[in-house]
Amino acid sequence: MKTPVYVAIALVAAAAGFGIYHFGIAPRTTAQPDVVTEPASPPAAAMPDVLPDFTLADMEGQPRSIRSWQGKSMIVNFWATWCAPCRREIPLLKKIQAEHGAEGFQIVGVAVDFREDVLKYAQDIGIDYPVLVGEQDGLDAVNKFGQGSLGFPFTVFTDNQQRIVLFHLGEIHEAQAEVMLEAVRKVNSGAATIAEARAVAAKQLRELAPPAE
């Protein structure tokens, strides 16, 4: 029966469609207009320094660790088929993988949803990057990031050592993606520390014009 799991997932996604950015171990938050907030909850734990390990079934039904992509700069995107902003950003994620995969970026979708729904949707729209799927175990993976039940989509950017550089809550737009990819490049090349890259990215993201509706 799906209803109890739907209720649990809905609590996590109460703020779906947010445009909030989190940076650093004590994240700074900038709320955008028209945010649907959820009731006050206890403070979340700190964001981990390194991509936390978890294992979920892939699209073929085989268990796979999120740390399987060693040496890659990870873009881990948490989403669900019933989340409108999640669906809207998938074409951009496909474009990022196609254009930047050769330089070491790897997108992995983590669908917190029912397996049959994810498989059908992924086939219908042609998702061509790896997707891991979980229900309660997917919620458990969300909790490893220490940010509480803030909403979907959210995306974690790591460097090529799987250290977390940036965390973004809400739909990603192309200009934002370019800023975050460049921050990771600077960390990978040694041109900036993670803290320095976060600070520059935060400033650049604040200066971006709001995306057109």
- Domain range list for the chain: 3-24+69-207
pLDDT value of residue 176: 96
69 is written with which tokens?
Answer: 């992509």
CB 94 within 8 A of CB 127: yes
pLDDT value of residue 146: 81
Per-residue pLDDT tens digits for 159-181: 999 999 999 999 999 999 999 99
The model's pTM: 0.81
Whole-angstrom distance, CA of residue 50 vs CA of residue 127: 26
More confident of the two residues 89 and 7 = 89
Residue 47, CA distances (Å) to 66, 129, 144 in order: 17, 25, 8
Topology (CATH level 3) of domain 3-24+69-207? Glutaredoxin (3.40.30)
Give yes or no for residue 20 having a pLDDT over 90.
Answer: no
Give yes or no for residue 14 having a pLDDT over 80.
Answer: no
- pLDDT confidence bin for 40, thresholds 50/70/90: very low
